[in-house]
Chain A
Amino acid sequence: MQNRPTHLIETMNIFAAVGRVILALFAAAGRLAIFMLDGISHSLRPPIYWKVILQEMIGVGYFSLPVVGLTAFFTGAVLCLQIFIGGSRYGAESFVPQIVVLGITRELGPVIAGLMVAGRVSAAIAAELGTMRVTEQIDALTTLSTNPVKYLVTPRLIAGVVSMPILVAIADAIGVLGGYVVATRALNFNSSVYLKNTANFVTSGDVSSGLTKAAVFGFIIALMGCYNGFYSKGGAQGVGAATTNAVVSASILILASNYLMTSLIFTR
């Protein structure tokens, strides 16, 4: 009986701690939402910084091509091999081209490219904006009558949304090529039959669903890089933390939103 009050207080403390964590979570989500809306709304109001958009598109799209192309190639190759091994148990080897193209265009192309670009570009954006924050370059922009969100964030969001689908379209093609190379070189598929089965099976819906996902991933990648960089603090250490957070949060959001979009697009 005697220790009941302290017991009660301890329970209350747990509630208070949980409450604090939840409040902090909501505050962070709210701040992110405001930041995002601010970034989007500036894309509708002039001036628009075309030069920065172009620069960022080259960074997101063009310079990610080698790494995304390589990963797509090997993903297509290994997918082909596994489907062949798995399918041969049921005598279903002939479905390899169809399943490869489906897997690549619907899921693996966008997701693999998304994750690779998240690692490359989210990190780079967070490091750049984070450094600009801690060296007061973002404040300097303000004093030169330039809105830092408009100048730094909006062009990167636009570049992400525009260049990711292009990148994924190329990754899709390279991924299918990877499967084709393994199938015809190692697994004795007839080259023209493989190509014909691929082309006849894939629909524009498969491709466009993947490209829609790519646009969303591009947005997530740019947003996470910008948000973490923009609000980083505390010198080199803070910039390091911002970079890590950007990559981790972008990757998680890509995988989670991918599931959400798949269930929205394909299970209606």
Chain B
Amino acid sequence: MNGVPKIELRGVKKSFGRKLVLDGVNLSIQPGDSIVIIGGSGTGKSVTIKCVLGILRPDAGSIKVEGQEVTGLHGRNRDAYLRKFGMLFQGAALFDSLPVWENVAFGLIQGHGISRRRAREIAMEKLAKVGLGADVANLSPAELSGGMQKRVGLARAIAADPEIIFFDEPTTGLDPIMADIINNLIATTVRDLGVTALSITHDIASARKISNRVAMLYKGKIIWDGATAEMDHSGNPYLDQFIHGSAVGPIKMEVRQ
């Protein structure tokens, strides 16, 4: 790989109390990459992105963005750093005290100092891109369905045209047609605007559509990392089991029969 990676994780560790979640994650993401992280539920995929965003502080390891160490950033430097990012939270995390359009416009108004009127126009544009019309703009998030909230969260993540976007399960809870629309949106956003994207998904079909690279997290480490096209002949039994969704294989889920 050439050039400075957009995002580089080296030996990132994180535990909660006695529970070790990340056990030395190594991952490097090139500019313009669209990478998907897959892995079982509770393996620490969301924790990984929260570490990059500084919401969680890793216990050890280094995280570099464009060659600059970012763990331990605070104050204005951190605000400036986070302006590069858009983030779709797994649970959407919409502000329920604000109407839908202000949720989408929030980062534009507060983080980028754009006027409310202009920010509203941009918000309406982004809402349209995720298939939501002007009729929902003034509703409160609590009045929306789960899938609609997710799409508002997506519109908020792309509102400020960030350089790097994290999507935590962008298509979970959407009907198959809407899921495909969102997949296309992510794919075109990456292709046309040259952003770097990191998505988490359990949907292998979606991963094929939106990513050029796949990394699999298992037991706190990245156990496979390669081009999406090579995913099917990786020869890695863990990855094979995961993408075929089979209960038989080296990955044992902790359930009692």
* Given the contacts A137-B96, A139-B50, A139-B55, A144 and B91 also touching, CB distance less than 8 Å: no
Instruction: Give the docked Cα–Cα distance between A151 and B95 (Å).
Output: 12
0/1 per residue, B42-64, Cβ < 8 Å to A?
Answer: 00000000100111000000000
Q: Is A147 an interface residue (CB 8 A)?
A: yes
Interface size class on chain B is 20 to 34
Contacts of A151 in B (CB 8 A): 110
Contacts of B85 in A (CB 8 A): 143
Most interface-central of A136, A141, A147 (chain B CB within 10 A): A136
Contacts of A145 in B (CB 8 A): 79-80, 82-83, 107, 110-112
Question: How distant is A35 from chain B, measured CB to nearest CB, in Å?
Answer: 15
B82/A142 in contact, CB under 8 A: yes
A contacts with B: majority SS: helix
0/1 per residue, A108-147, Cβ < 8 Å to B?
Answer: 0000000000000000000010011001110111111111
A140/B87 in contact, CB under 8 A: yes
Instruction: Give the docked Cα–Cα distance between A140 and B50 (Å).
Output: 11
Q: Is B181 an interface residue (CB 8 A)?
A: no
Instruction: Give the docked Cα–Cα distance between A142 and B96 (Å).
Output: 16
Contacts of A131 in B (CB 8 A): 96
0/1 per residue, A142-172, Cβ < 8 Å to B?
Answer: 1111110001000000000000000000000
Contacts of A136 in B (CB 8 A): 89, 91, 93
Instruction: Give the docked Cα–Cα distance between A69 and B238 (Å).
Output: 68
* Given the contacts A137-B96, A139-B55, A147 and B89 also touching, CB distance less than 8 Å: no
Binding site for B on A (CB under 8 A): 47, 128, 131-132, 135-137, 139-147, 151
**A141-B95, A143-B53, A144-B106 given; 4 more Cβ-contact pairs under 8 Å:** A136-B89, A137-B94, A137-B96, A139-B50
Binding site for A on B (CB under 8 A): 50, 53-55, 79-80, 82-83, 85-87, 89, 91, 93-97, 106-107, 110-112, 156
List 24 A–B pairs whose Cβ atoms lie within 8 Å, in order of A's numbering: A128-B97, A131-B96, A136-B91, A136-B93, A137-B94, A137-B95, A139-B53, A139-B55, A139-B89, A140-B93, A140-B94, A142-B55, A143-B87, A144-B82, A144-B111, A144-B156, A145-B107, A145-B110, A145-B111, A145-B112, A146-B79, A146-B111, A147-B79, A151-B110
